[in-house]
């Protein structure tokens, strides 16, 4: 009636035998196709899971790509340097190294901080409580992920700088460090909820409290400030790099002149070196104002001993050479020895607790790290001995007149960061011991959540 096809029922007597057979075949075909569809649907997750690679295989593939990328960067960088004349090669490397070695050292420190967090997570010490962190703080895996990207981006930019400069693209080469420094700054201050906004805000807030100690000093404040003192050479190189970028001296040799605003005579170099110690000095004075403890004044004196080391070294560029050699150089050596020995004494007697040494390596579960480090006497001798040697070498990196030996200074700065990496373990351990010994500290604050749930409740009825 409406133009549609009328299909009689299959058992209609008006259908011929052949029509019934055809209808039966069609029904069997529909049922068979429906069964095939069901089989495809049910087998789809199994096939998809079979196609996905295992996590171990995927990790190995990423490691392979990482090493392949590293080889390409080294090969391109080496070929680019070899294209340059012998007279300009060393000067060119010195300039390129200046722009990129601060970020390489920061990347190294991020990797080491991830190792610190990994050990903290395995131990019985609650580092989140010590630093007053919320439950959304970054874990060691996230720290290592950020360090991996830094390890990729910084050498890639350096390789591009070397390649472009050696092939005559000077303007493009000069833009590489500028773009990298701008990108790092934008990532730090980006106000939107990406790139770990809460952690970036925590870091920026801590840095603000370090620069302006207008409030009571927390453990995180002076802990980060102590780490910044080990990175004073990084701040000095950042100051020189930014100075050249602002005055458009990147990929030129104008900065090499003695009277250049970014040259060796610049007062900004010793100022950038001394700033972390000044910040830490003001923190100690603030602590004395709040607590009236005389040990904070002795700690302030320790940081003040770094000031003569830095400025006596900088005087080499502002006095006659004979005057420097006969008078200022012996004073510089004496101030360096005093600073190193005082700092070493403070590490061993104040920052560390040798009575319960290496407790931080006591793991919740049996592990190779805990077996090798926890309760081992060699750890004590290694840490104290290496700390003493590296404290003495520390004077070298604070000396502005030795900065042209850039590879030596880079190595000593990296070793100083490794010394600070060791220092972190035992400084955090000492702080946890102090917190545990407080009479008002509740046992429930030390035990984990599982211990609190499983602990028996004794009630007198």
Mean pLDDT, residues 375-389 taken together: 81
Q: Which of these ranges, 322-326, 346-350, 392-396, 398-402, has the smallest mean pLDDT?
A: 398-402
Mean pLDDT, residues 145-161 taken together: 94
Contacts of 267 (CB under 8 A, 6+ apart): 314
Other C-beta atoms lying within 10 Å of the C-beta of residue 429:
24
Q: Which of these ranges, 124-133, 191-200, 278-287, 439-448, has the smallest mean pLDDT?
A: 439-448
**Please, which pLDDT band fits residue 286 given cuts at 50, 70 and 90?**
very high
Mean pLDDT, residues 241-264 taken together: 74
pTM above 0.85, yes or no: no
Asked whether the beta carbons of 265 and 306 are under 8 A apart, the reply is no
pLDDT at position 94 over 90: no
Asked whether the beta carbons of 129 and 435 are under 8 A apart, the reply is yes
Mean pLDDT, residues 342-350 taken together: 89
Three-class secondary structure of residue 442 per DSSP: coil
Mean pLDDT, residues 55-78 taken together: 90
What share of the chain has pLDDT > 90, as a percent?
A: 37
Mean pLDDT, residues 62-79 taken together: 92
pLDDT at position 218 over 80: yes
pLDDT at position 451 over 80: no
Q: At what angle do helices 377-397 and 329-346 cross, to 10 degrees?
A: 150
Three-class secondary structure of residue 61 per DSSP: helix
The kind and range of the H/E element at 86 are helix 86-122
Question: For position 250, what pLDDT does the model report?
Answer: 85
Please tell me the distance from the alpha carbon of residue 184 to that of residue 207, in angstroms, as a whole number: 16
Question: For position 18, what pLDDT does the model report?
Answer: 45
Question: For position 367, what pLDDT does the model report?
Answer: 62
**Please, which pLDDT band fits residue 114 given cuts at 50, 70 and 90?**
very high
The alpha carbons of the chain give a radius of gyration, in whole angstroms, of 32
Asked whether the beta carbons of 214 and 152 are under 8 A apart, the reply is no
Question: For position 161, what pLDDT does the model report?
Answer: 93
Please tell me the distance from the alpha carbon of residue 290 to that of residue 378, in angstroms, as a whole number: 39
Asked whether the beta carbons of 235 and 272 are under 8 A apart, the reply is yes
pLDDT at position 181 over 70: yes
Of 457 and 381, more confident: 381
Largest CA distance in the chain: 127
Q: What is the end-to-end Cα distance of the chain in Å, rounded? A: 87
Mean pLDDT taken over the chain: 80
Question: For position 208, what pLDDT does the model report?
Answer: 95
Please tell me the distance from the alpha carbon of residue 288 to that of residue 280, in angstroms, as a whole number: 13
Three-class secondary structure of residue 20 per DSSP: helix
**Please, which pLDDT band fits residue 448 given cuts at 50, 70 and 90?**
very low
pLDDT at position 20 over 60: no
Question: For position 123, what pLDDT does the model report?
Answer: 81
Other C-beta atoms lying within 10 Å of the C-beta of residue 69:
15
Residue of 37, 66, 261 lying closest to 156 (CA atoms): 66
Mean pLDDT, residues 380-399 taken together: 79
Mean pLDDT, residues 366-393 taken together: 75
Of 100 and 37, more confident: 100
């Amino acid at each position: 009636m409406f133009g549609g096809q009328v299909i009689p029922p299959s058992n209609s007597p008006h259908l011929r035998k052949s029509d019934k057979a055809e209808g039966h075949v069609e029904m069997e075909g529909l049922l068979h196709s429906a069964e095939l569809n069901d089989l495809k649907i049910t087998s789809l997750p199994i096939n998809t899971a079979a196609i996905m690679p295992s996590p171990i295989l995927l990790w190995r593939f990423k490691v392979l790509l990482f090493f392949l990328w590293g080889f390409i960067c080294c090969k391109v960088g080496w070929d680019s340097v070899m294209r340059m004349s012998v007279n300009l090669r060393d000067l060119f490397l010195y300039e390129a190294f200046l722009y990129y070695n601060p970020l390489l050292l920061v990347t190294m420190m991020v990797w080491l901080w991830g190792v610190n967090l990994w050990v903290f997570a395995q131990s019985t010490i609650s580092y989140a409580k010590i630093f007053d962190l919320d439950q959304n703080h970054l874990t060691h895996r996230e720290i290592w992920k950020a360090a991996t990207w830094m390890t990729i981006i910084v050498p890639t930019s350096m390789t591009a700088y070397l390649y472009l400069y050696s092939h005559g693209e000077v303007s493009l080469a000069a833009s590489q460090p500028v773009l990298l420094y701008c990108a790092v700054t934008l990532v730090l201050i980006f106000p939107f909820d990406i790139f770990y906004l809460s952690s970036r805000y925590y870091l920026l807030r801590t840095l603000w409290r370090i620069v302006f100690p207008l409030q009571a000093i927390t453990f995180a404040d002076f802990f980060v400030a102590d780490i910044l003192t080990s990175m004073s050479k990084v701040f000095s190189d950042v100051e020189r790099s930014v100075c050249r970028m602002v005055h458009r001296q990147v990929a030129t040799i104008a900065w090499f002149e003695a009277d250049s605003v970014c040259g060796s005579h610049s007062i900004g170099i010793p100022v950038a070196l001394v700033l972390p110690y000044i910040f830490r000095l003001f923190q100690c004075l603030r602590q004395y104002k709040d607590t009236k403890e005389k040990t904070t004044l002795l700690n302030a004196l320790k940081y003040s001993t770094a000031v003569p080391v830095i400025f006596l070294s900088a005087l080499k560029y502002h006095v006659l050479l004979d005057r420097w050699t006969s008078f200022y150089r012996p004073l510089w050596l004496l101030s360096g020895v005093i600073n190193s020995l005082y700092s070493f004494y403070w590490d061993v007697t104040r920052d560390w607790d040798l009575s319960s040494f290496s407790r931080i390596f006591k793991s919740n579960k049996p592990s190779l790290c805990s077996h090798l480090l926890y309760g081992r006497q060699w750890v004590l001798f290694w840490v104290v001995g290496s700390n003493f040697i590296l404290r003495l070498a520390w004077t070298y990196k604070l000396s502005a007149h030795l900065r042209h030996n850039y590879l030596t200074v880079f190595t000593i700065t990296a070793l100083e960061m490794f010394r600070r990496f060791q220092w972190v373990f035992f400084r955090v351990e000492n702080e946890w011991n102090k917190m545990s010994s407080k009479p008002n500290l509740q046992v429930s604050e030390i035990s984990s959540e599982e211990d609190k749930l499983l602990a028996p409740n004794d009630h007198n009825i």
